[in-house]
Chain A
Amino acid sequence: MPDTAHGYLYGNRILYLSIAAGLIFLIFIVQLVRQRKLSERFALVWMVIPILLILFSSNRALLERLAQLAGIAYAPALMIPIIFGLFTLVSLYFSVKASKSEQQIKKLAQELALLRHAVQQSPPVVRDRESE
């Protein structure tokens, strides 16, 4: 596919921008972990996005090949579905985590309510001894 010099420059510019954006994002995530605002487990998931972004952006040959496979003439346009897909996966991952947390919170709340009831119902002797 004949690429004009102008088109190539233009195409590469977006790739450089992508690499820069990926690096900034990566630094931002590392900062959040260092400040203990983001746990390592979640940070790892978030890092997948900038790392893949940098990988695809810095390897034009790989991108061209994948674009060809996908039937996309303008290779950098392939970044759009890739990024969209990655964000979708990450969001889904967090929804799964949230569902699990929801179940855990429910279980804890129920246990707590039942235990509090059991403590209140326990014979006063036990309670007095505990408060001493």
Chain B
Amino acid sequence: MSATLEIMRAPRILIVIPAYNEEKSVAAVAREALASAPGVEVLVVDDCSTDRTAAILAAEGINHVSLPVNLGIGGAVQTGFLYAWEKGHDIVMQVDGDGQHPPAQIPQLLQAMREEGLDAVIGSRYAAGSQIVSSWARRLGGGLLGALIRLATGQRVTDPTSGFRAYNRHALEYLRRHYPQEYPEPIIAIDLLRNGFRLGEVPILMKEREHGASSITGLDTLLYMIKVIFAIIIVKIRRRR
């Protein structure tokens, strides 16, 4: 039935851009995302920013919602997913508001989803064919996480912390209900794989962050790792839904 629908109309795509205090980059990211493919829609989720993010979005006429309290990246992205679900989008994407995800490479993710029949696609900095722009600490952390995910699910995920992603409506239906509040990216990868969704990766080239600081830096990487590993164990032992 879905095949018939595809012939009848192009898939409706929503690009969700979570933004917390990204006044310098968010408008440019949103515009780039809108221009990345014909017919895509954008929703910026302002996670109760304290800077001018909301004002800029309103002034530029960019489609956005503003959360009344700061929920963190997980809650913000899920808000966008709830929106996509209600509005009937076929594909929902996540592109971070800090400008490190290249909206120009959105079509690569969509193409992989279509051609390989995937439910979820991760834009990977480390998959074969991508050029690496990252510190050794983060690569090591990512590698460890990847190994853990492989252990938990049997599938190789080269860049589990990448937030540059695309999900189809099948995955969206699941994620709108179950979206981890903290460290969502690696958790989702495992959660989806464990629940039988098809997940794949596409090599991409990420830019250095344009503005603001990464949420994962320096010594925090270790703490992040410990917390994520704990969260992964929780996902692994939790009842399937």
B71 touches A109 (CB 8 A): yes
Given A106-B75, A109-B75, A114 and B66 touching (CB < 8 A)?
A: no
Kindly state whether residue A91 has any CB partner on chain B within 8 Å: no
B65 touches A109 (CB 8 A): no
Kindly state whether residue A126 has any CB partner on chain B within 8 Å: no
Residue from B75, B82, B181 within 8 A of A114 (CB atoms): B82
Main secondary structure, interface of B, reads mixed
* A109–B64 alpha-carbon span in the complex (Å): 15
B69 touches A114 (CB 8 A): no
Q: Which residues of A are found within 8 Å of B181, using beta-carbon distances?
A: 102, 106
Kindly state whether residue A37 has any CB partner on chain B within 8 Å: no
Kindly state whether residue B133 has any CB partner on chain A within 8 Å: no
Q: Pick from A105, A112, A113 the residue with the most CB of B within 10 Å.
A: A113
7 smallest CB-CB distances across A and B, nearest first, come from A113-B65, A117-B65, A110-B79, A113-B67, A106-B75, A109-B69, A109-B67
B75 touches A116 (CB 8 A): no
**For residue B74, which residue of chain A has the nearest CB?**
A106
* A131–B75 alpha-carbon span in the complex (Å): 32
Within 40-74 of B, Cβ neighbours of A (below 8 Å) are at 45, 64-69, 71
Q: Which residues of B are found within 8 Å of A110, using beta-carbon distances?
A: 67, 71, 75, 78-79, 82
**B interface size (C-beta, 8 A):** 15
Within 93-115 of A, Cβ neighbours of B (below 8 Å) are at 102, 105-106, 109-110, 112-114
Q: Which residues of A are found within 8 Å of B67, using beta-carbon distances?
A: 109-110, 112-113
B interface residues (Cβ-Cβ under 8 A, vs A): 45, 64-69, 71, 75, 78-79, 82-83, 86, 181
B82 touches A106 (CB 8 A): no
Q: Which residues of B are found within 8 Å of A102, using beta-carbon distances?
A: 181
Given A106-B75, A106-B181, A109-B75, A114 and B83 touching (CB < 8 A)?
A: yes
* A109–B82 alpha-carbon span in the complex (Å): 12
Q: Closest approach, in angstroms, between the C-beta of B77 and any C-beta of chain A?
A: 11
B86 touches A113 (CB 8 A): no
* A105–B83 alpha-carbon span in the complex (Å): 18
A113 touches B66 (CB 8 A): yes
Q: Which residues of A are found within 8 Å of B69, using beta-carbon distances?
A: 105, 109
* A102–B65 alpha-carbon span in the complex (Å): 20
Q: Closest approach, in angstroms, between the C-beta of B61 and any C-beta of chain A?
A: 12
**What would be 29 A-B contacts, judged by CB atoms less than 8 Å apart?**
A102-B181, A105-B69, A106-B71, A106-B75, A106-B78, A109-B67, A109-B69, A109-B71, A109-B75, A109-B79, A110-B67, A110-B71, A110-B75, A110-B78, A110-B79, A110-B82, A112-B67, A113-B45, A113-B66, A113-B67, A113-B68, A113-B79, A114-B65, A114-B82, A114-B83, A114-B86, A116-B65, A116-B66, A117-B64
Q: Closest approach, in angstroms, between the C-beta of B139 and any C-beta of chain A?
A: 32
Q: Closest approach, in angstroms, between the C-beta of A62 and any C-beta of chain B?
A: 38
**For residue B81, which residue of chain A has the nearest CB?**
A110
* A117–B45 alpha-carbon span in the complex (Å): 11
**For residue B176, which residue of chain A has the nearest CB?**
A110
Q: Which residues of A are found within 8 Å of B83, using beta-carbon distances?
A: 114, 117
Given A110-B67, A113-B65, A114-B86, 4 other A-B residues pairs in contact with their CB atoms under 8 A: A102-B181, A105-B69, A109-B71, A113-B79
